[in-house]
Chains A and B, each alone.
Chain A
Amino acid sequence: MDDRRPALLEVFEASCGYGDRIVAEGVTFAMDHGDVLCLLGPNGAGKTTLFKALLRLIPLREGRMRIHGEDAAAWSRRRFASVVGYVPQAHTPPFPFTVRDVVVMGRISRVDAFGSPTGRDVDAAGEALERLTIGQLADRAYTELSGGERQLVLIARALAQEPEILIMDEPTSNLDFGNQLMVLEHIRSLARDEGLGVLMTTHDPNHALVYGTKAVAIDRKGAFAVGAPETVVTEAYLKATYGVASRMLRLAAGDGGAAMVCLPVAWGDPAHCHKSTDGRRA
């Protein structure tokens, strides 16, 4: 064990919450370069709180968070931002910044405390836009873009930070069917081809099954299950957590591999679902 390289991101027995209320407890998982780790769970299960703690916006109550084996809690914000990039949900700021301005802002952790961006920072921003093939948006106003474009711009902004880890808060929420897949494909290629570690939340089990290399599933009681997506996102989990009876299907993927997908077939009250048998419900 000792001679092995420590994982990119390790979270060990982490607890977090607000005030007296502990929202998430005993979270343990690890993530490496090239991983897409999907965090799945019902509304109110503490995903957002956990995210805030991982981004160090609120303190961890207990437990540790290590990056490359180093305790990240002691890092300065700048150092942390140069390793971890945050991609929020697409939103609208009050001022019509150009896309380039928005992406250059991602360079802030790499510019002196009172400095302004240099030509190099502008180049890095342009490069980040090109990596997501949206270079043509650079001079548009961010506020005028579509939801999918905005989400890509926010990813580009995080990429301009030159991070090793991307933390994404529901990158597919509020996007149409096509844009969801477009964003997910970009996420997959960032992890697979460029070696970033991606940690994202999602509400769609199929996103975790198809695009995730790992999944963390939170159930109604706040318990965490960690593992390969198809071992964590199961019929039993979906039924117990969402009250959704579903069928798992194995589909051949385009690249020769296979992926599990789930097909929801019926919904019932989660408590009620526990009592009835699987077959009759479906």
Chain B
Amino acid sequence: MLAVPHVQIIERLRWGVHSWVKSRPASPAEAGKTAGRAAPGGFAPREKTILCMMASLLALMFVFSLMLGRRIMPPGLVLKVLLGGIWPLDASLSRDAEIVILSVRLPRIAAAMLVGAALSTSGAAFQGIFRNPLVSPDILGVSTGAGLGAAMAILYSLEPVVIQAMAFTFGMIAVGAAYIIGSWRARAGGEAVLILVLSGMIIGAVFSAFISLVKFTADPYNILPAITFWLMGSLSSVSAGDVSLVSVPILAGLLLVHSVRWRLNVLSFGDEEAYAMGVNVRRVRFAVIAGATLMTASAVAISGVIGLVGLVAPHLARLLVGPNYRVLLPACMLVGALFLLVVDDLVRTLFIAEMPLGILTSLIGAPFFIYLLSNLRKGWG
């Protein structure tokens, strides 16, 4: 009882945000009428307000990010070029500005938003199915698997698109292996979720041993630095083609996880309760793992390993809208996109020699993680 849960602080902050967005209903009876009342499949007014504000902020940040770079572009020019990209009208626009904005900055910014949304959503979804707020998207070994795939492709100096394909494939293989081993061992009895986490850890350990093996055999002058740099995570070499290629699986994964997001709530109460409430736990869990893995593997394939986004962004979103996945997942998507966009802007503009994105996300995310650790009340549910 004495351990003041971070939950309480979050709750208080959340109310703070709410009362700022819209004054809190005066009486409990009134609250009963407005709060939580949702149109079929929709959001309560307060939730809608917060989501709209976040979406507008993201749109603003998107335009602002297009302005940023070695050459600062005025917002008017950015908007004109953007509109021209869809529907070319203004022939007077400079060709240079068009190339810089549409071919250089736009793919990278779109990639940052997609990767951020994917990592944040899968982090939040995994925290729900594993009933632990400290879980990140890598828990089943997707990043380690992707790392191994990429490392092997780099070892044989394969094309960038092959590196991405290998990263994606091995990310999926790692999680697939963890899932199969987990379900197989769980059939013999025991806590299914715990067994799944443990088999994810084992798979992660095995795959990272193989990464070390690849690094060990790699040429230390050319190949090894390339592998190391890939593992640090960066968006600097993302092309428009990469973005459109991975946007399909990322959007599919987002859609899949979003379609079961309300059911995800029930899973955080434990398998038995969820079964007793009539939820097909195994099916929902499979949908979440499949969707989350699909998008994380795709994200990692173009960005490399970017740490702590999948942990920090869900908690920021929880501060804003609370823990109900029905509204939390859309919020997560927006916060994750915004978070990675801002951090990548810092990476692009703050340093002359570009720093890998993964380093900065971890440096920013670490203090938050430590704060969460000190407030951890219980372990595996």
Seen from chain A, the residues whose Cβ lies within 8 Å of a Cβ on chain B are 18-19, 52, 55-57, 77-78, 80-82, 84-86, 88, 91-98, 100-101, 104-106, 108-109, 111, 114-119, 122, 126, 135-136, 138-139, 141, 143-144, 157, 161, 167
Q: Are B37 and A95 in contact (CB under 8 A)?
A: no
Q: Are B28 and A96 in contact (CB under 8 A)?
A: no
Q: Are A57 and B276 in contact (CB under 8 A)?
A: yes
Which of B127, B262, B277 contacts A117, CB < 8 Å? Answer: B262
Q: A116-B38, A118-B38, A122-B38 are in contact. Are A77 and B268 (CB under 8 A)?
A: no
B36 located at the interface, meaning its Cβ lies under 8 Å from any Cβ of chain A in the complex: yes
B260 located at the interface, meaning its Cβ lies under 8 Å from any Cβ of chain A in the complex: yes
Q: Are B278 and A81 in contact (CB under 8 A)?
A: yes
Query: Which residue of chain B has the shortest Cβ distance to A106 in the bound complex?
Result: B277
Give chain B's interface residue range (CB within 8 Å of chain A): 35 or more
B239 located at the interface, meaning its Cβ lies under 8 Å from any Cβ of chain A in the complex: no
Q: A88-B273, A139-B28 are in contact. Are A108 and B38 (CB under 8 A)?
A: no
Q: Are A119 and B5 in contact (CB under 8 A)?
A: no
B77 located at the interface, meaning its Cβ lies under 8 Å from any Cβ of chain A in the complex: no
CB distance from A276 to the nearest CB of B (A): 42
**B269 / chain A contacts, CB cutoff of 8 Å:** 91, 93, 105
Question: B275-312: which residues lie under 8 A (CB-CB) from chain A?
Answer: 275-280
CB distance from A229 to the nearest CB of B (A): 26
In the bound complex, what is the Cα–Cα distance between A95 and B270 (angstroms)?
12
Seen from chain B, the residues whose Cβ lies within 8 Å of a Cβ on chain A are 5, 7-8, 10-11, 28, 31-32, 35-42, 127-128, 131-133, 189, 259-260, 262-263, 265-266, 268-270, 272-273, 275-280, 318, 322-324, 326, 377-378, 381
Q: Are A80 and B278 in contact (CB under 8 A)?
A: yes
Q: Are B279 and A77 in contact (CB under 8 A)?
A: yes
Q: A141-B7, A144-B11 are in contact. Are A77 and B280 (CB under 8 A)?
A: yes
**A122 / chain B contacts, CB cutoff of 8 Å:** 36-38
Q: A94-B133, A116-B326, A139-B28 are in contact. Are A108 and B37 (CB under 8 A)?
A: no
In the bound complex, what is the Cα–Cα distance between A84 and B286 (angstroms)?
25
Which 3 pairs show the lowest CB-CB distances between chains A and B? Answer: A81-B278, A109-B278, A86-B276
Q: Is the interface of B mostly helix, strand, loop or mixed?
A: loop
Q: Are A119 and B277 in contact (CB under 8 A)?
A: no
Could you say which of B10, B28, B269, B277 has the most chain A C-beta atoms within 10 Å of its C-beta? Answer: B277
Query: Which residue of chain A has the shortest Cβ distance to B273 in the bound complex?
Result: A88
Q: Are B38 and A96 in contact (CB under 8 A)?
A: no
Q: Are A116 and B275 in contact (CB under 8 A)?
A: no
**A95 / chain B contacts, CB cutoff of 8 Å:** 7, 128, 133, 268, 318, 323
Q: Are B378 and A81 in contact (CB under 8 A)?
A: no
**A93 / chain B contacts, CB cutoff of 8 Å:** 131, 268-269, 381
CB distance from A86 to the nearest CB of B (A): 4
Q: Are B266 and A105 in contact (CB under 8 A)?
A: yes
Q: Are A101 and B272 in contact (CB under 8 A)?
A: no
CB distance from A258 to the nearest CB of B (A): 36
Q: Are A96 and B322 in contact (CB under 8 A)?
A: yes
Which of B36, B39, B280 contacts A100, CB < 8 Å? Answer: B36
**B8 / chain A contacts, CB cutoff of 8 Å:** 96, 141, 144
